[in-house]
Structure 1
Amino acid sequence: MHWTEMLMPVVSGFALTIMAMPIFIGYFRMKQLGQTTREDGPKWHEVKTGTPTMGGLVFLIAIVITSVWVGIWQKSLTISLGLLMFILVLYGILGFLDDFIKVFKKRNLGLTSKQKLIGQIIGGIVFFAVYRIEGLDTLLYLPFFGEVNIGWLYAVFVIVWLVGFSNAINLTDGLDGLVAGTASIAYGAYAVLAFKQGQTDILIFCLAVIGGLVGFFFFNKKPAKIFMGDVGSLALGGGLAAVSILLHQEWSLLLIGLIFVIETASVMIQVTSFKLTGKRVFKMSPIHHHFEMSGWSEWRVVLTFWAVGLVAAALALVIIL
């Protein structure tokens, strides 16, 4: 795939998102529908109450449309590309239902954690089943051991990976532009790996995601005109994990997605510490709120996290390539 052809999915994802988003935002404002800020969140985030949400729906549609038409054009509409879109759409639907109940039904809680988890696990099972039907192997690289065929345990790994990173990006999505930037960097790193492996189908998907996210960022940068909502964050996390699996670079996601790992770890540490000792390790979790409460501006936190994500992704590429 020539570099000029690689521009097509980026431009398509960007153009579709940036054209449709103003209409979407306008509809939410007209209906006076918006995000309700968490009561236990930072007090200075209260000004964001009422901001339109569910913007992820727009870039998800842009990504799917782009992946299909570029996939057909490049003769790369494969099962792997279908699997990526399946996870993106399914996890997006789970997030959409969660957002829809909160926003349109005016209920503070959307889907229960159990309902979302069941949906995510079903997605993981279907993903693995199709993966095996296609004859893809169950080899997993283990440090110090090399590649090991773990058989059916690979199905467990796939489910944990998809669910874990789907929720990790969901936790990270708490500041204007934070996930738009960090996810673009992560998908960019996998685009490089897909290109090096000659997997055009996965490359198209990653580039379409980047285009959609860059288009979304224009409306999500501080002060955000719209948030992506769970419909965007759950889908992006599931898609990212699926990409790492299909490229057989699973563990690389711990480094390429370092920010998402840190954000999730901060919540786990905070909850565990409070339950065991009654004390909090961070001023607030996820950790981006800790830095805000330490006096950092929102932009400073976002730019610092982008920088860390970029360095980690570059390091991962150097190690792998």
Structure 2
Amino acid sequence: MNAAYALALAFILVLGAGPWFIPKLHALKFGQSIREEGPQSHQVKSGTPTMGGMMIILGLTVATLVFSSWTKEVMLALFVILGHFLLGFLDDYIKVVRKHNEGLKPRQKLLGQIIIAGLVAVFGGLPTDLWVPFVGNIDFGYFFYAFMMFVMVGITNAVNLTDGLDGLASGTVAVASFFYMLVCAAMGKGELAVMLAATVGACLGFLKFNYHPAKIFMGDTGSLALGGVMAAAGILTHTELLLALIGFIFVCETLSVIIQVASFKSTGKRVFLMSPIHHHFELKGWPELKVVWVFWTVGLVMGILGLMVYMFGN
């Protein structure tokens, strides 16, 4: 029941914050700069307020603190989420306020992510076992911490890459969080389920303003923080392998970039018209809304598959 309350409170908080927050960002001229190398159809979005991730984190954090017990797992999850929120906020602040288009340099952002992951590995006190579907829990010893850091950095970057179309990241994270909420409930991790329910509510509330045509973007402030949600869900349940199914869209987005870069550097040819892969479909002629709805649907199907794998493979 607390999960339902957390979802509702997060939804209401974000929904209520939008009408006040969006005009403030307009007044401060916190508008998004659109990359010239991106699809030309996106240039009309230039100037749309960004850093809307602050609304998501407001709803998510308050609802989690109100309706969950402040267990070690919940506090660790919030540390991961808020750590990435601050990293994304700094990146957006440099781009939007300081007017430096690139924001943090890639190596600076990566270093920040590694530091957050490293702190969790060193001070999180996590067991070193990993759940393998249809096998059970296997103790990987110290290798687990290296794998955990890889997963955390990978999934936070993956969600960040997914945030390229109106409503794409907020919708896919809402879907993935819903299914991870069910996994946590099945595992008896009710407090983490409350945090994930709050994420669902915050993302759905944000969609009111972020759905095409978007009135606000979440920016790295939101996308890195939501990547932190996915990382915390996978790592604290020791189901990092399941994250590849429930977060299938994020994995595809990342792989498309890796494949594109590797192909171009090795052969001089591009596999996709543009990466991440959502831009490929745009350039193939798909309307933006079609891309978003197809990706949401794929995320839903893979979420169901992930839940079934957990239920039958446990």
TM range (shorter): over 0.9
Matched, 1:241 2:231: yes
SS in 2 for 1:147: strand
Pairing partner for 1:92 from 85, 89, 106: 85
Amino acid of the residue matched to residue 130 of structure 1? F
User: 1:121: Cα distance to partner?
Assistant: 1.1
- Which residue is equivalent to 1:292? 282
- Which residue is equivalent to 2:150? 160
| Gaps in structure 1 of 5+ consecutive residues | none
Mapping for residues 296-307 of structure 1, pairs under 5 Å: 296-307=286-297
Mapping for residues 125-204 of structure 1, pairs under 5 Å: 125-132=118-125, 136-142=126-132, 146-204=136-194
Pairing partner for 2:272 from 273, 282, 285: 282
Alpha-carbon separation, structure 2, partners of 1:144 and 1:6: 28
Identity among equivalent positions (%) equals 46
Show CA shifts across 1:25-77 (max 9, x none).
10111222200001100001000000000000111122111111112xxxx21
Aligned residues: 311
- Which residue is equivalent to 2:49? 52
- Which residue is equivalent to 1:25? 22
Is the contact between residue 117 and residue 149 of structure 2 (CA under 8 Å) also seen in structure 1? yes
SS in 1 for 2:49: coil
- Which residue is equivalent to 1:122? 115
Instruction: Flag the 1:144–1:212 CA change in 2: closer, same or farther, 3 A.
Output: closer
Alpha-carbon separation, structure 2, partners of 1:265 and 1:288: 12
SS in 2 for 1:32: coil
Alpha-carbon separation, structure 1, partners of 2:298 and 2:173: 12
- Which residue is equivalent to 2:97? 104
User: 1:143: Cα distance to partner?
Assistant: 6.6
Amino acid of the residue matched to residue 237 of structure 2? L
Alpha-carbon separation, structure 1, partners of 2:305 and 2:28: 46
Show CA shifts across 1:270-291 (max 9, x none).
0010001111011110010110
Matched, 1:221 2:218: no
Alpha-carbon separation, structure 2, partners of 1:139 and 1:320: 16
TM-score of the two chains, using structure 1 as the length reference: 0.94
Pairing partner for 1:259 from 249, 252, 275: 249
Alpha-carbon separation, structure 2, partners of 1:228 and 1:24: 12
SS in 1 for 2:250: helix
Amino acid of the residue matched to residue 186 of structure 1? A
Mapping for residues 70-89 of structure 1, pairs under 5 Å: 70-71=67-68, 76-89=69-82
SS in 2 for 1:148: strand
Is the contact between residue 156 and residue 226 of structure 2 (CA under 8 Å) also seen in structure 1? yes
Pairing partner for 1:69 from 61, 66, 79: 66
Amino acid of the residue matched to residue 122 of structure 1? I
SS in 2 for 1:97: helix
User: 1:233: Cα distance to partner?
Assistant: 0.5
Alpha-carbon separation, structure 1, partners of 2:143 and 2:224: 24
Amino acid of the residue matched to residue 18 of structure 2? M
| Stretch deviating more after TM superposition (57-66 or 136-145) | 136-145
Alpha-carbon separation, structure 1, partners of 2:190 and 2:138: 26
User: 1:146: Cα distance to partner?
Assistant: 4.9
Alpha-carbon separation, structure 2, partners of 1:82 and 1:6: 17
When the two chains are superposed, the root-mean-square deviation of aligned CA atoms in Å is 1.3
Amino acid of the residue matched to residue 87 of structure 1? V
Alpha-carbon separation, structure 1, partners of 2:160 and 2:265: 23
Is the contact between residue 3 and residue 67 of structure 2 (CA under 8 Å) also seen in structure 1? no
Amino acid of the residue matched to residue 271 of structure 1? V
Alpha-carbon separation, structure 2, partners of 1:244 and 1:309: 16
- Which residue is equivalent to 1:12? 9
SS in 1 for 2:148: helix
| Gaps in structure 2 of 5+ consecutive residues | none
Alpha-carbon separation, structure 1, partners of 2:136 and 2:184: 21
SS in 2 for 1:217: helix
Show CA shifts across 1:54-110 (max 9, x none).
000111122111111112xxxx21010001100110000000000001001111111
